Amino acid sequence: MAQCANTAQTRQSMTEKNNIRKCTNDAIKIILYVVFMTTLFLLYFNDNNYEIKNSIDYHSAEYNSYYRKVITTENSSKISTKIDDNVKEGYVVWNDNCRIPNISAYDKTIKNLIKKSNSPKCFSTLPLTSVILDVDKWSYTFKINHGVHSQISKSIVNCCYSPIIRNDLKFKNNPKDDDRYKVEPKCYPINDSEIIPKSVEYMMVTCELRPNGDKLKSTVYKDIHAMVIDKGQRRFRNADIPDKPSVLIISIDSLSRLNLIRSMPITYRLLETYGFMSLEGYTKVADNTFPNVVPILTGMFVNQMTKRCWNSPKDEMDECPFLWKDFKKRGYVTAYVEDEPNMGTYNFGKYGFRNAPTDYYSRPYMLAAEHYLPVVKYDGMSFCLGPRSAPDRVYAYVEDFVKLHRHHGYFAVFWLNTFSHNDVNTPSAMDQRTAGALSKLLDGRLLDNAVTVVLSDHGLRFGAIRETHIGWLEDRMPAFYARLPTGYVTARPSHRDALAANKHRLTSPFDLHLTLKQLLFQQLNDDNDDDNTNSSLPVAMAEGCPTCHSLFRLADANRSCEQAGIAPHWCTCDEYEELDRRSRIAMDGGKYVVRQLNALLTKYRMMVRKGYACSNLSLRKTVSARSRMNRGNGRREYLLVVETLPGRSMFEVTVGQEDGSGAFGMLGDISRINMYGFQSYCTDDWRLKKHCYCVKKNRKPAGS
């Protein structure tokens, strides 16, 4: 019996040892698997970095001499100096009327404000579902990504899709006309590798996953996909017409030239080495996005547009002469895509468009994604829309659109807000992915027949950096890079030369408008490249700036802000002298600014929701005062920063003073340089949003 007992104990001990050994082996396998996958991921990540860097290095040699070409001036004489030497050292613009200093992107005065930013991860690996484009067949295939989701994909019971469409219009205009979309109630079954019907432009995919382990109920995976479908619209083939290139505009909101260099160095280097030409004197003409985009696309200031076609923010903009209408009339395919629908350029405090303004218009797609998918915020912006980020969705759409229309004439604008609008550091989080998206287009030779512009509307307009001199300059001087296709340069070399020479000239959005117009209307057999004298072109004049002209002409060497359509408040051409903020001029100027603010609040008081009002503002203090002499007209101007109550709002204003009476006069817009947050919750009017401090109206006493 004892022997049996000992044998049993021995067997039990051996079993335990085997179990322990098995568990140990399993643990080692798991650890090795994790190490392997981590190593694989890092190698993949580094390979992506290497591919982008290698691609940039390859093109560095190709475009190294790009700016060293001999350029042609307005009188056809030759300039033998290098473009980069065409300005006084220490300045980006230097002439009798304008001197803009060349400040380092890494200036020591802002060093403590700069840091690397990391965006949230929208998904640990690739999304579970995707759509794959077949360019030759112009079709999309639904794909379940089994490789990176082997366990999850095996648990899929079924998937189905619901098309997303833009609703039919109601009879009367409605403030939500541009927000309309409908997800069809029926969900159509779809299998892995099945071709998606060619009529489906946007769709919501729903996959049911069977329960496992501790889960008793099945779970659901959702995503929303966009397809660039063939809409059968009139289009022309321009692959063999180098003089009629397509136009691709990619804009990163609130990104100055200096912040592009500082926070997106990979993208910056890519632009510099792929033949993009910068305009270092490019200056905004208004405060925020909308009034800086309107001059590019219409050639007008907003107040001129309101008289022509847009009487009120409650009116839609369908009747306004945006350039995409002109391009469409001449057979170009048009597109407008923006990543943040709640603060869309044409919708924030405005009603947008009753009908889709372009052939491809992504607003239904982005609205549906933001409504039906989990949203993860990044610095206050809707960054993650389900398993993919909003900018990644835009970059994927750009790639598909350009692939499908690379041989057709197109005019396309892609606008990105979510990673750059609210903070000077957040663009760094998307540097590699932005460079990767651009390098795909360039390395794939998808832009060989497109004028490509990468720009911004302005620099960061608020925050700690905005209270510095560097921030003041960056706000006014957005990034601008343009690249001309080789075929176009061969056909019109003087255009490339003038654009390169304008690097160190004062330029504005009105010049870009006239450049786009020239691209649209010029003819292959035009003998004269001068857009003002060519009889085959329409009169090349921008209503908002009659003295502006195409960037394909060399800008006036002594150009002033006034000649470029830039108001004194936005002009960076003159150096300021610091004044005592407690001086008489500073205090009187501050009081004048507050009176102007209250007059503006009174003018638009009907645009506040019922039961609320914008509080009357009072001057808390004049924060700073600076003075300069305008080189163009000899007028004394003052740049004032004031803080008001309630709310401790900070405003920046440029005022002039009459010599005789000493009376002040406004010289442009009023800038809000700290965030207003929820202070203006009672109004959506774009003219009031940055100025209004909302309060409830006083109730009348009982019986009155």
pLDDT of residue 126: 79
pLDDT of residue 149: 59
pLDDT band at 66 (very low <50, low <70, confident <90, very high): very low
Contact between 127 and 153 under an 8 Å Cβ cutoff? The reply is no
Q: Which of 542, 584, 545, 538 is nearest to 562 (CA)?
A: 545
- Structure-model confidence comparison of residues 123 and 572, the more confident one: 572
Indicate the SS3 state at residue 469: helix
pLDDT of residue 242: 87
299: left (phi over 0), alpha (psi -120 to 50) or beta: left
Q: What is the mean predicted confidence (pLDDT) over 64-91?
A: 47
Going by their DSSP bridges, the two strands 388-389 and 381-385 should be labelled as antiparallel
The DSSP string of 288-337 is: SHHHHHHHHHHSS-HHHHHHHT--STTS--TTS--HHHHHHHTT-EEEEE
- Burial 422-435, CB ≥16 within 10 A → b, else e: bbbbbbbbbbbbbb
pLDDT band at 327 (very low <50, low <70, confident <90, very high): very high
- Structure-model confidence comparison of residues 448 and 151, the more confident one: 448
Lowest mean pLDDT among 17-31, 176-190, 601-615: 17-31
Contact between 643 and 652 under an 8 Å Cβ cutoff? The reply is no
Q: Secondary structure of 591-659 in the HEC alphabet? A: HHHHHHHHHHHHHCHHHCCCCEEECCCEEEEEEEEEEEECCCCCCEEEEEEEEEECCCEEEEEEEEECC
Tell me how far CA of residue 615 lies from CA of 21, 602, 675, 679, 689, in angstroms.
75, 10, 17, 10, 13
Task: Compute the CA torsion angle 448, 477, 414, 395 (nearest 10 deg).
Answer: 80
pLDDT of residue 700: 45
**Residue 394 predicted with pLDDT over 90:** yes
Q: What is the mean predicted confidence (pLDDT) over 366-385?
A: 95
Lowest mean pLDDT among 93-107, 260-274, 529-543, 566-580: 529-543
Q: What is the mean predicted confidence (pLDDT) over 300-316?
A: 93
pLDDT of residue 1: 47
> Could you give the CA distance from residue 684 to residue 348 in angstroms, rounded to a whole number?
7
pLDDT of residue 217: 61
> Could you give the CA distance from residue 560 to residue 522 in angstroms, rounded to a whole number?
28
The DSSP string of 52-100 is: HHHHHHHHHHHHTTGGGS-EE-TTS-EE-S-GGGSS-TTEEEESSS-EE
First to last CA, the chain: 106
User: Global pTM?
Assistant: 0.86
* Per-range mean pLDDT, top range of 86-90, 325-329, 575-579: 325-329
pLDDT of residue 157: 76
CATH 3.10.450.10 range(s) for the chain read 577-696
Q: Which of 302, 311, 372 is nearest to 341 (CA)?
A: 372
pLDDT of residue 37: 42
User: Under CATH, which number does the domain 577-696 receive?
Assistant: 3.10.450.10
Q: Secondary structure of 346-376 in the HEC alphabet? A: CCCCCCCCCCCCCCEECHHHHHHHHHHCCEE
pLDDT of residue 174: 75
Q: Which of 670, 645, 667, 671 is nearest to 658 (CA)?
A: 667
**Residue 296 predicted with pLDDT over 50:** yes
* Per-range mean pLDDT, top range of 48-57, 114-123, 140-149: 114-123
> How many helices (DSSP H) and strands (DSSP E) are in the chain?
15, 28
**Residue 648 predicted with pLDDT over 90:** yes
pLDDT band at 123 (very low <50, low <70, confident <90, very high): confident
**Residue 9 predicted with pLDDT over 70:** no
Question: Residue 510: phi, psi to the nearest 5?
Answer: -65, -35
> Could you give the CA distance from residue 352 to residue 286 in angstroms, rounded to a whole number?
20
> Could you give the CA distance from residue 373 to residue 365 in angstroms, rounded to a whole number?
12
pLDDT of residue 257: 98
For the record, the structure tokens of 435 come out as: 């460079």
pLDDT band at 78 (very low <50, low <70, confident <90, very high): very low
> Could you give the CA distance from residue 241 to residue 513 in angstroms, rounded to a whole number?
22
Contact between 311 and 320 under an 8 Å Cβ cutoff? The reply is no
pLDDT tens-digit profile of 267-289?
Answer: 999 999 999 999 999 999 999 99
**Residue 192 predicted with pLDDT over 60:** yes
The amino acid at residue 239 is A
**Residue 570 predicted with pLDDT over 70:** yes
> Could you give the CA distance from residue 663 to residue 670 in angstroms, rounded to a whole number?
18
- Structure-model confidence comparison of residues 567 and 661, the more confident one: 567
With 0-12 CB in 10 A as exposed, 13-18 as middle and 19+ as buried, what is 642?
buried
Indicate the SS3 state at residue 432: helix
pLDDT band at 661 (very low <50, low <70, confident <90, very high): confident
pLDDT tens-digit profile of 401-431?
Answer: 999 999 999 999 999 999 999 999 999 999 9
> Could you give the CA distance from residue 481 to residue 456 in angstroms, rounded to a whole number?
9
CATH 3.40.720.10 range(s) for the chain read 100-115+231-521+540-570
pLDDT of residue 82: 41
Place of tokens 């982008």: 52
- Beta bridge pairs of residue 189: 160
pLDDT band at 465 (very low <50, low <70, confident <90, very high): very high
**Residue 59 predicted with pLDDT over 70:** no
Q: What is the mean predicted confidence (pLDDT) over 574-592?
A: 93
Going by their DSSP bridges, the two strands 388-389 and 480-483 should be labelled as unpaired
The amino acid at residue 160 is C
Contact between 500 and 277 under an 8 Å Cβ cutoff? The reply is yes
> Could you give the CA distance from residue 354 to residue 347 in angstroms, rounded to a whole number?
11
Q: Secondary structure of 243-261 in the HEC alphabet? A: CCCEEEEEEECCCEHHHHH
Indicate the SS3 state at residue 434: helix
The DSSP string of 99-117 is: EEE---TT-GGGGGG----
pLDDT of residue 212: 63
**Residue 33 predicted with pLDDT over 50:** no
The amino acid at residue 677 is G
Q: What is the mean pLDDT of the chain?
A: 86
For the record, the structure tokens of 404 come out as: 């499908």
Alpha-carbon dihedral sign for residues 145, 150, 154, 157: negative
Alpha-carbon dihedral sign for residues 582, 588, 594, 600: negative
Tell me how far CA of residue 44 lies from CA of 39, 137, 521, 577, in angstroms.
8, 31, 46, 53
Lowest mean pLDDT among 36-40, 97-101, 195-199, 310-314: 36-40
Contact between 162 and 364 under an 8 Å Cβ cutoff? The reply is no
Q: What is the mean predicted confidence (pLDDT) over 482-497?
A: 96
pLDDT tens-digit profile of 125-147?
Answer: 778 899 999 999 999 999 998 87
Domain 100-115+231-521+540-570: top CATH class = alpha beta
Contact between 499 and 553 under an 8 Å Cβ cutoff? The reply is no
pLDDT of residue 585: 93
> Could you give the CA distance from residue 230 to residue 442 in angstroms, rounded to a whole number?
24
**Residue 148 predicted with pLDDT over 80:** no
Peptide linkage before 211 cis (omega within 30 of 0): no
**Residue 152 predicted with pLDDT over 70:** no
Q: What is the mean predicted confidence (pLDDT) over 72-99?
A: 64
**Residue 84 predicted with pLDDT over 50:** no
- Beta bridge pairs of residue 653: 640, 670
**Residue 200 predicted with pLDDT over 60:** yes
pLDDT band at 535 (very low <50, low <70, confident <90, very high): very low
> Could you give the CA distance from residue 207 to residue 223 in angstroms, rounded to a whole number?
9
> Could you give the CA distance from residue 48 to residue 436 in angstroms, rounded to a whole number?
8
Angle made by CA atoms 520, 525, 529, in degrees to the nearest 5 = 65
